Structure 1
């Protein structure tokens, strides 16, 4: 069975990927944690994690998927060409991106002009240089509060995106896209 890569960066959000990781563990699917360097990374919640590998150690053929958590401040990852190049290697694989992480996929041009959810509002991204064309079909934080999507996520091609408060539905959908049947009752759904 191929593995799932989990990319972490400073202030990544652990709870947003907890259901996805538990679903993978329940089905004995190996997860390999990557970061730019093999240095300790502190999560938004204060957990300190030592990645298994640095991003330059990937053997892409061993992986069928990538999981991208949100972060309290993802700016350094969005501006890092090495991280963006790492993500691009997963172009034809299953990708789960939650909270602000879908913006990494916009930056790599995987989601430009396509439907997706992100835990940020468009207006905040225009200030960062993203265009209306980049974000045309984005459903941002306020959109998701005012007009929630019942499923709790959007699937575009092989990419599932969501926002923080839909983390359980997001995690189950990521597993489902990998062919892993996880009963939603396990997570109270």
Structure 2
């Protein structure tokens, strides 16, 4: 069984998290059955960007990175406190450990920013939120990242994307990398894509 750690910061965007739960869940129940997703939060109770409340299965202090095959991170809003949690040393250390083990790290929208802040994207290609005068892509560049203004950018083990519209594509790319293109296409078909 391939296990995905869904890393949630307070203020995360619910739609960006839900694509991972659904795609990995659909595969577990109707695809090849080889994946499982575990929600992990920076605290015992999290509030999403638009006030949806989530209770994760685990908190960061309970995580053993060796038990997981991939990391998935949804983005969030500064106004909802996303960066307070996402830029915490505890959050950044999880990212570093996954990268050191060369495990897949899949992110959506501004979730590339804590990945970059952790140092693992220095000198690598990535993208981030591309609207509002590219402010988040400019911030990404300050971490030594070669910013590419494309919907999805993959550099070795790290997947980044540039806004919420890419969410399903990132989740399917993660599933494909964990299983196979054939299985991913089967799950897409079952989900109506």
TM-score scaled by structure 2?
0.80
Q: CA deviation at 1:186?
A: 4.5
- Distance in 2 (CA, whole Å) between partners of 1:84 and 1:133 is 14
Q: Partners of 2:119 and 2:168 in 1: how far apart?
A: 27
Judge conservation of contact 2:7–2:73 (CA < 8 Å) in 1: yes
The equivalent position to 2:108 in structure 1, one of 93, 98, 111, is: 98
* CA RMSD, 1 decimal: 2.2
- Post-superposition offset of 1:123: 4.5
Deviation at 1:177, TM superposition (A): 1.2
Q: Which runs of 5+ in 2 are unaligned?
A: 29-34
Q: Is contact 1:17-1:171 (8 Å) kept?
A: no
Match of 1:34 among 18, 40, 64: 40
Distance in 1 (CA, whole Å) between partners of 2:142 and 2:92 is 21
Q: CA 1:188–1:154 in 2, change beyond 3 Å: closer, same or farther?
A: farther
Match of 2:32 in 1: none
Structure 1 unmatched runs, 5+: 144-148
Change (3 A) 1:55 1:103: same
Q: Does residue 43 of the first structure (1) align with residue 48 of the second (2)?
A: yes
1:105 deviates by 1.0
Question: In the alignment, which residue of structure 1 is the partner of 2:13?
Answer: 13
Which residue number corresponds to residue 94 of structure 2? 86
The CA distance in 1 between the partners of 2:143 and 2:37, in whole Å, is 34
Q: Which has the higher helix share?
A: 2
Distance 1:60 1:99 in 2: 23
CA spacing shift, 1:2–1:76, aligned 2, 3 Å:
same
Distance across 1 between alignment mates of 2:38 and 2:120: 22
What SS class does the counterpart of residue 102 from structure 1 fall into?
helix
Quick one: distance in 1 between partners of 2:72 and 2:141?
A: 25
**Runs of 4 or more above 3 Å deviation:** 120-126, 130-133, 184-189
User: Normalising to structure 1: TM-score of the pair?
Assistant: 0.81
Q: Look up the SS of the partner of 2:172 in the other structure.
A: helix
